[in-house]
């Protein structure tokens, strides 16, 4: 059960951040089109900046979870596999 809890807990946090940014982008697009059209620099407006930030956070979330899996989940899964292997040998 530790392996399942270890894989879910941080995933909900990171997923919540990514989904929140997506929802903020969608809500602002519908509720404040003037704000989203405001130019920041050259052709870059607020909507484009938020979308680029959304892509960046999505890529970061994938990178982070892959790193987390290698660092935390893989050793725990190896322990489970070793335990199951020992159990099968004793039968």
For 51-83, what is each residue's pLDDT tens digit? 999 999 999 999 998 998 889 888 888 888 888
pLDDT band at residue 19, thresholds of 50, 70 and 90?
very high
Distances (CA, A) of 73 to 50, 69, 86: 32, 5, 20
Whether the full predicted model's pTM is greater than 0.85, yes or no, is no
pLDDT band at residue 88, thresholds of 50, 70 and 90?
low
**φ, ψ (nearest 5 deg) of residue 11:** -65, -40
- Determine which helix (DSSP H) or strand (DSSP E) holds 44, and give its type and residue range: strand 44-45
Q: Which of 31, 67, 70 is nearest to 47 (CA)?
A: 31
- Determine which helix (DSSP H) or strand (DSSP E) holds 25, and give its type and residue range: helix 2-31
């Amino acid at each position: 059960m530790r392996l399942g809890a270890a894989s879910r807990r941080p995933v909900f946090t990171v997923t919540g951040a990514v989904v929140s940014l997506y929802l903020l982008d969608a809500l602002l697009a519908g509720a404040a089109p003037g704000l989203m059209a405001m130019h920041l620099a050259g052709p870059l407006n607020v909507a484009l900046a938020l979308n680029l930030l959304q892509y960046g956070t999505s890529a970061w979330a994938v990178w982070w979870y892959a790193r987390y899996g290698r660092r935390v989940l893989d050793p725990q899964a190896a322990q489970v596999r070793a335990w199951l292997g020992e159990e099968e040998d004793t039968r």
